[in-house]
Amino acid sequence: ALRFPITGTKGPSPIHEKQPQTINPPPNFTVATMIPSFLKGSLLRLGPGLFEVGDEPFYHLFDGQALMHKFDFKNGQVTYFNKYVKTDAYVRAITEKRVVITEFGTFAYPDPCKNIFSRFFTYFKGVEVTDNCLVNVYPIGEDYYAVTETNYITKVNTDTLDTLKKVDLCNYVNINGVTAHPHIERDGTVFNIGNCMGKGASLAYNVVRIPPTQKDKSDPIEKSKVVVQFPSAERFKPSYVHSFGMSENYFVFVETPVKINLLKFLSAWSIRGSNYMDCFESNEVLGTLFHIARKDIGGGQGEYIDHKFRAAPINLFHHINTYEDNGFIVADVCTWKGFEFVYNYLWLANLRSNWEEVKKAAMMAPQPEVRRYVIPLDIHREEQGKNLICLPYTTATAVMRTDGTIWLEPEVLFSGPRQAFEFPQINYEKHGGKNYSYAYALGLNHFIPDRIIKLNVKTKETWVWQEPDSYPSEPLFVQTPDGVDEDDGVLLTVVVSPGAQKSGYMLILNAKDMSEIARAEVDCPIPVTFHGMYKK
């Protein structure tokens, strides 16, 4: 039976608190085994590593406690080690041998050893938000932070993987939480988005700007500010936001019908004991709203453009790329058709089922599809019923309706039955926010990550790397220093093989043709990872 590649431990273990080890390609490996000499940095990855504490299990894929992995490249060799991120959620769980802080799909019950009065007051002390930063890692100034999607980010030492400090972004900007997918400009400026309570207790979404490294060596986070605000379609029900689009001059925010019921969220812990997943609901009536805003109209402030762009209901987690072309914004995104929340299918019990059960569940889930939406910047109300898009290379349309809204129909760039193109990456350094040709992604077969895919977004041609019993992670693109073409570079991914009785390995692919360049095996189990970065 094929099982989802989830491994982990019940507590800190030599398996996962791994000391540095030098790893080389296996001696019987026949493909070219030379690690490219230009790789002289570190591949950093984050994901869940601890799925049980004492006798208490975590129930959802996004509940496992954060484990950070590091592959160092030097002189044709790779050194690997990992450490748990010592968040409050992790330290308290290990200390008390139970789930102490409620995670995405696991509710933390009060300590059973406490008396009834202590338990009573625990229920009414408010929501204790998790800092379990298992999703991604990115730089702010000269520092690096492991992150999830709450208001807490965790500063880490990327040389030793030591945990340095917990930072509450609420201390600096009006934000309830931010995504794990910021946009970072070449000078180091960081943009991110999250929901917030605005004027008159109205709900909104704020785009936050964190400046680059400061000349006076002060912390850039202290100079964070909100640059633009998007309105919410519903007052007490924000959409779930996992990422957003940014071109050279515009932000694109997609408000989906997957909602967080704030009233339920704020009352759930005190009334009946609940987790984050219990607070999601879908509203198919609303469909999907596309919002745009100018990045900078002067003084570092943006401006919301009050046009109503609507589309059919979708789930959206990852933007691929967003760029401008002749008065239009082109937004390429990884979608799941429909309004049902895809995370409903990521409970560990479902993913650990046998292959036939996994496929049966996936057949009921929304269908994945890579889509291109095109948003016109120049709107004329008198052009009702006419396609406002005149770019010659896309079939996407935008049509003005009688109520003044613009209905968007996408062009499909990639689609296959239950085959998802997810965790996308591009040559971000040179083509982020600009016209581009190539995207790379993790291929999900009925939610099982079993391939790496390259997609030409202009021709829709695809290339695939795949091996039996091998489950890769998000591919990260690293450009060849003297590269000229957009795809001159390599892809780095971590592959796990839990059912094949062989080690996991770090895999290097040629980004041009997806051929294998090298692999380096690790002599310990590696759990699945979500996102990461290549640090030069």
Q: Are 262 and 239 in contact (CB under 8 A)?
A: no
Cα torsion for 345, 347, 348, 352, to the nearest 10°? -30
Which of 497, 467, 521 minimizes the C-alpha distance to 2?
Answer: 497
339/366 Cα distance (integer angstroms): 8
Residue 380: both structure tokens together? 């004329």
**Residue with token string 């400090």:** 165
431/425 Cα distance (integer angstroms): 11
Q: In 351-384, which positions are buried (b, 16+ CB within 10 angstroms) versus exposed (e)?
A: bebeeeebbebbeebbbbbbbbbbbbbebeeeee
- Is 242 within any annotated ligand binding site? yes
Q: At residue 186, what are phi and psi to the nearest 5 degrees?
A: -60, -30
Residue 152: both structure tokens together? 């807490």
- Is 291 within any annotated ligand binding site? no
Burial classification of residue 409, based on how many CB atoms lie within 10 Å of its CB (0-12 exposed, 13-18 middle, 19 or more buried): middle
Q: Are 120 and 128 in contact (CB under 8 A)?
A: no
Which of 93, 88, 20 minimizes the C-alpha distance to 50?
Answer: 93
**SS3 of 457, please?**
coil
Q: Are 512 and 454 in contact (CB under 8 A)?
A: no
Residues 6+ apart with CB under 8 A from 299: none
- Is 446 within any annotated ligand binding site? no
- Is 531 within any annotated ligand binding site? yes
Q: How many CA atoms lie within 13 A of 521 on its CB side?
A: 11
Cβ atoms < 10 Å from Cβ of 202: 12
Q: Are 71 and 506 in contact (CB under 8 A)?
A: yes
Element (DSSP H or E) covering residue 65: strand 65-74
**SS3 of 233, please?**
coil
Compute CA distances 300 → 139, 178, 198, 212, 452, whole Å. 21, 20, 20, 13, 39
Compute CA distances 93 → 54, 67, 100, whole Å. 9, 14, 6
Residues forming the annotated binding site?
Answer: 181, 242, 318, 531
Residues forming the annotated binding site for Fe cation?
Answer: 181, 242, 318, 531
